[in-house]
Chains A and B, each alone.
Chain A
Amino acid sequence: MKIRLDQVVKTFDTFRAVHGVSLEIESGQLVALLGPSGSGKTTILRMVAGLEYADGGHIYFGDQDATDIPVRDRGVGFVFQHYALFPHMTLAENIAFGMKVSKTKRSKTEIATRVLELLRLVKLEGLGDRFPGQISGGQRQRVALARALAVDPKVLLLDEPFGALDANVRRDLRRWLREIHDELGITTLFVTHDQEEALDLADRVVILDQGRVVQEGTPAEVCREPNSAFVMRFLGDANRITATVRDGRAYIGETVMDAPSSSDGPIDIYLRPGDIDWRPDGNGIPATIVRVLDRPGGRRVLANVEGGTALEFDVPPETDVRSGQLGRLQIKRSRLYPA
């Protein structure tokens, strides 16, 4: 089912949480709503679900205007951050709940068969008689997904689905959710504040800030062509150097860089830690190493360039760098945004 948001607005008391957001989610896609806290991502998800009503604009499911359809008739599966499993019901009863209260009558055996099928899908066979209090967080989230899928939703919505879990469990569940999505082909929208999660899992990423869509695209598009300094900073570690542009050239202290598409005036140059090369001597921006952090994949170097700007970059693990050492930095890649 294709979902379309048209100029959706939501205000809480005096706080405008969502400012006229328009979005299109193609049928069968897995889309991430990514943003810092307060960016309105959860509010948008809850409006798509019908748990909040939009103050303005429209939400379409396919060709149908779903803006005013109450949540119970909207046909969405919602997975809550803290699972919201019914604690007094067994896992099987939790999964069966939607089928039991549904207007379409199902026989007991039909429900039981479907419950077993879903327990198998979420790899929890044989645990149907347990209560939610007796299983782990990762298992609970899988039950919550099975429960949401039991009513054959047109759309699956997940609110920070892995937010409350350990890093290892998160990674496993992420891969597993992708597999389930590919198997069922259900249009899925999930909210996260974790860039890695959004980029690893989603077909498309919608980046939000202060109730507005900042950029929308595939993980490759948003990573390679961040359209603003905010996206650049939000997607990962980023260094900022201030510079001045004159006649298509950017001046960083003594160093000069080509900046053909920038107009004259102050500019911010953004660099990922991998965009910088370190040399003990030769050409480049002079820098002094302040600290070296050892990480599994390499060494992260914290250095100061002339003027006191602090930069972070990575060097291979066997590189000999020490704090206090002087050297030169060369810029391999960079993105320029007006200051």
Chain B
Amino acid sequence: MKRNVLPGLPLSLGITLFYVALIVVLPLAALVVKAASLGPAEYWAIVSSPRAVASYRVTVLSALVATAFNLVFGLALAWVLVRYRFPGRRIIDAIVDLPFALPTAVAGIALTTLFASNGWFGALLAPFGIKVAYTPLGIMVAMCFTSLPFIVRTVQPVLEDLDPALEEAAQSLGGSDSAIFVRVILPLLIPALLAGLSLSFARSLGEFGAIIFIAGNQPMETEITALLAFIRLEEYDYQAAAAIASVLLITAFLMLAATNLLQARALRYTARS
């Protein structure tokens, strides 16, 4: 066996596996067991009820929109933070992490206040007939807010490591700015963008605290899946809660698996022959 620099591989591996099992796998297994205690017909009836399906639709759609928005905006933010030196850059850099630090309920209440029809933003948007608070738009805003740091923080280090000579080489070969971005920079950022995208999307799927304040929580309209599971819990219907939660779990798992596959594809050039 190859000698490692750090001693105690069996010990550290043992602790790691035990920890992951205890903190991550065990609760998820309990969830699956609980959901599995329902018969297949019963399980299907719960997860395909119109109210549940409506909640999936609004959750997944909002998460997709929020992630797409963050993809563009987060990339731009990371770009500006890495490529330019301007007064206040470090402050903006620190602010990016704020959604991580802020209790999501606080964020939800703040956003609701701002976007309510008499709030600062809401009052400006009202004349155009745009309502944000208590509509699916509000859900998207809350999701955008809580998942913004993921894209910025995954793309930033990769951008920092990008050799400026690559862009200079592309320029000297006659590449226009847009050609250099599309053919050279973007492909090198794709693995990081995918990682940030999957984290951002997963976070949006599971977001709860920030959304319930701004969403209005109308069943069939603005009720997210996590809230529906919570409502079933409050009704002591643990099996139904577990069944609904299992749908979220499967969605998140499939999505992470898909982005991992895409990432491996995007990184195939690093494989040595």
Tell me the A residues contacting B by CB distance below 8 Å: 49-51, 70-74, 76-78, 80, 82, 84-89, 97-98, 100-103, 130-131, 133-134, 144, 147-148, 150-151
Contacts and interface: CB of A to CB of B under 8 A. Distances in A.
Nearest to A78: B172
Nearest to B270: A133
A78 B174 CA distance: 11
B51 to A, nearest CB: 46
Contacts of B166: 84, 86
Interface stretch (B60-68, B181-189, B207-215, B233-241): B181-189
B172 A77 contact: yes
Nearest to B175: A101
B183 A101 contact: yes
Contact of B173 (A51, A82, A88, A97): A97
Contacts of B183: 97, 100-101
Nearest to B179: A101
30 contacts: A51-B168, A71-B172, A72-B171, A72-B172, A72-B174, A72-B175, A72-B176, A74-B172, A76-B172, A77-B172, A78-B169, A80-B165, A80-B169, A82-B163, A84-B163, A84-B165, A85-B169, A86-B184, A88-B188, A88-B269, A97-B173, A97-B183, A98-B175, A101-B170, A101-B173, A101-B179, A101-B183, A133-B270, A148-B172, A151-B174
Contacts of A70: 171
A111 to B, nearest CB: 13
B129 to A, nearest CB: 45
B174 A102 contact: yes
B269 A98 contact: no
Nearest to A86: B184
Nearest to B266: A88
A53 to B, nearest CB: 13
A85 B173 CA distance: 12
B169 A84 contact: yes
B174 A87 contact: no
Given A51-B168, A82-B163, A87-B188, A130 B273 contact: yes
B173 A98 contact: yes
Contact of B168 (A84, A102, A134): A84
B64 to A, nearest CB: 27
Contacts of B90: none
B3 interface: no
B272 interface: yes
B193 to A, nearest CB: 13
Interface in B216-245: none
Interface of B: 163, 165-166, 168-176, 179, 183-184, 187-188, 269-270, 272-273
B172 A131 contact: no
Given A84-B166, A86-B184, A101-B183, A147 B269 contact: no
B270 to A, nearest CB: 6
Which among B163, B165, B176 has the greatest number of chain A C-beta atoms within 10 A? Answer: B165
Given A86-B184, A98-B174, A78 B168 contact: yes
A148 B51 CA distance: 62
B272 A133 contact: yes
Nearest to B177: A72
Nearest to A130: B273
Given A72-B172, A72-B174, 14 more contacts: A51-B171, A80-B165, A88-B188, A97-B170, A97-B175, A97-B183, A98-B174, A98-B175, A101-B176, A101-B179, A103-B174, A131-B270, A134-B272, A147-B169
Query: Which residue among B168, B174, B183 has the maximum number of chain A CB atoms within 10 Å of its CB?
Result: B174
A299 B173 CA distance: 49
Contacts of B187: 88
A266 B173 CA distance: 55
Shortest 3 CB-CB distances between A and B: which pairs? A98-B173, A84-B165, A84-B169
Contacts of A74: 172
A151 B269 contact: no
Nearest to B188: A88
Contacts of A98: 173-175
Given A84-B168, A97-B183, A101-B179, A147 B173 contact: yes
A102 B187 CA distance: 19
Contacts of B165: 80, 82, 84
A196 to B, nearest CB: 26
Nearest to A153: B172
B171 A87 contact: no
Given A84-B165, A86-B166, A49 B188 contact: no
Contacts of B188: 87-88
Nearest to B165: A84
B269 A87 contact: yes
Contacts of A150: 173
**Residue among B163, B183, B184, B269 with the highest chain A CB neighbour number at 10 A:** B269
